[in-house]
């Protein structure tokens, strides 16, 4: 059973075609890594799943619910805002630049959405936040403001914030690209733990090691199209597409 599925997803920024007929299906509990050169449309693809970008045409399903069906930017399905919101809440998103709320402490950052959106009681939300902070290893930083944290710690808070909405699926948009090299490991570790717990994850990443080790499937994107989808073993050892070979050569043989 698929968790999220896209069919012929297209996205134009004016004349520029960023995504061209991207079709992908992600199973429940699967970890999919999107790799490819910059400008390939990886981030745009991920963001359009979460409605941060409006797609030009194509279909998106979330757990059998047809969330998007557009032809030439015209929405074909009428869906109530509430239903759409429900499906969108199944996806948690982690950004490259963390995007934590700077005026709130770590604790408040994580607690805001459960209380505002899920209308949870304070005591109930606090239990969830404590558990999540423990999970990402930041229990002692609960009352700190984000500006006092390192990049790695901030990204772990961002992951906890997304998890607080109890999503069924997590989208990671280059979660380690803005980090100092020595801080990458702690974030990847949290993501590995998540994958082991069976969370469905779609990860845009430049960390080939992570893709090799954790991913169930690796998707190679190039100039707005999905060129190759396969297990990491095949992609990293025996890719069929010439573009994939060239990309991996330039990335791995530095």
Partner 1 sequence: MKQKQKWKLTTFLNKYKVWFIVIAALIVVCIPLALTTPGVEDFKSQVPTEFNQLEAKKESEVFKNGGIMSTYIATKQISSSSVERIAFLGIAGHVFHADGGVSQFFANSITWFPSLMDGTKITVLLTLFSVTTGIFLSIFLALGKMSKIKPISWFCRGYIFFFRGTPLLMQLYFIWFGIPLIIPALTISDRFLAAWIAFSLNGGAYCAEIIRAAIESIDKGQFEASKAVGLNYRQTMIKVIIPQTYRRLIPPLANEFIMVLKDAALTSIIALKDLSKVTSSIMSSTGEVTVFLLAMIIYLVITAIFSKCFVLLEKKFSLYD
Given candidates 79, 120, 165, 234, which one binds partner 1 under the rule CB under 8 A? 165
Task: Based on the shown chain and the rule CB under 8 A, indicate whether residue 187 belongs to the binding site for partner 1.
Answer: no
- In terms of Cα–Cα distance, which of 135, 133, 151, 152 is closest to 143? 133
Total residues contacting partner 1 (rule CB under 8 A)?
29
The CA-based angle 195-200-201, given to 5 degrees, is 75
CA distance 249 to 163: 35
Task: Based on the shown chain and the rule CB under 8 A, indicate whether residue 113 belongs to the binding site for partner 1.
Answer: yes
For residue 141, give the DSSP letter: G
**Paired sense of beta strands 91-94 and 169-173, if any:** parallel
Q: Which is nearer to partner 1, 10 or 158 (CB)?
A: 158
Task: Based on the shown chain and the rule CB under 8 A, indicate whether residue 50 belongs to the binding site for partner 1.
Answer: yes
Task: Based on the shown chain and the rule CB under 8 A, indicate whether residue 49 belongs to the binding site for partner 1.
Answer: no
Task: Based on the shown chain and the rule CB under 8 A, indicate whether residue 85 belongs to the binding site for partner 1.
Answer: yes
Question: Is the backbone of residue 51 left (phi > 0), alpha (psi -120 to 50) or beta?
Answer: left
Structure tokens at 15: 């004349």
Task: Based on the shown chain and the rule CB under 8 A, indicate whether residue 121 belongs to the binding site for partner 1.
Answer: no
Helical pair 181-196 and 151-163, crossing angle rounded to 10 deg: 20
Task: Based on the shown chain and the rule CB under 8 A, indicate whether residue 54 belongs to the binding site for partner 1.
Answer: no
Q: Which is nearer to partner 1, 60 or 164 (CB)?
A: 164
CB of 151 to partner 1, least distance (A): 14
The binding site for partner 1 (CB under 8 A) comprises 50-52, 85, 88-89, 91-93, 95, 97, 99-104, 112-113, 116-117, 145-147, 158, 161-162, 164-165
């Amino acid at each position: 059973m698929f968790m999220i599925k896209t069919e012929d997803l297209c996205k134009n920024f004016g004349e520029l075609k960023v995504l061209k007929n991207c079709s992908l299906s992600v199973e429940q509990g699967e970890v999919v890594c999107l790799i490819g050169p910059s400008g390939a449309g990886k981030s745009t693809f991920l963001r359009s799943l979460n409605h941060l970008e409006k797609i030009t045409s194509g279909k998106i399903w979330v757990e059998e619910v047809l969330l998007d069906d557009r032809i030439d930017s015209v929405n074909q399905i009428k869906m109530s805002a509430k239903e759409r919101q429900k499906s969108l809440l199944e996806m948690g998103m982690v950004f490259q630049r963390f995007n934590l709320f700077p005026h709130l402490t770590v604790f408040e950052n994580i607690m805001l959405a459960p209380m505002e959106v899920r209308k949870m009681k304070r005591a109930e939300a606090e239990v969830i936040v404590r558990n999540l902070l423990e999970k990402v290893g930041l229990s002692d930083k609960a009352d700190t403001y984000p500006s006092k944290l390192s990049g790695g710690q901030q990204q772990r808070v961002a992951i906890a914030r997304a998890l607080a909405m109890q999503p069924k699926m997590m989208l990671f948009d280059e979660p380690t690209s803005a980090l100092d090299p020595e801080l990458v490991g702690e974030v990847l570790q949290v993501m590995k733990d998540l994958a082991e717990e069976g969370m469905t994850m779609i990860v845009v990443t430049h960390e080939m090691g992570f893709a090799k080790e954790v991913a169930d499937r690796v998707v190679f994107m190039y100039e707005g199209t999905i060129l190759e989808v396969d297990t990491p073993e095949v992609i990293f050892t025996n890719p069929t597409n010439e573009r994939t070979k060239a990309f991996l050569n330039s990335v791995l043989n530095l």
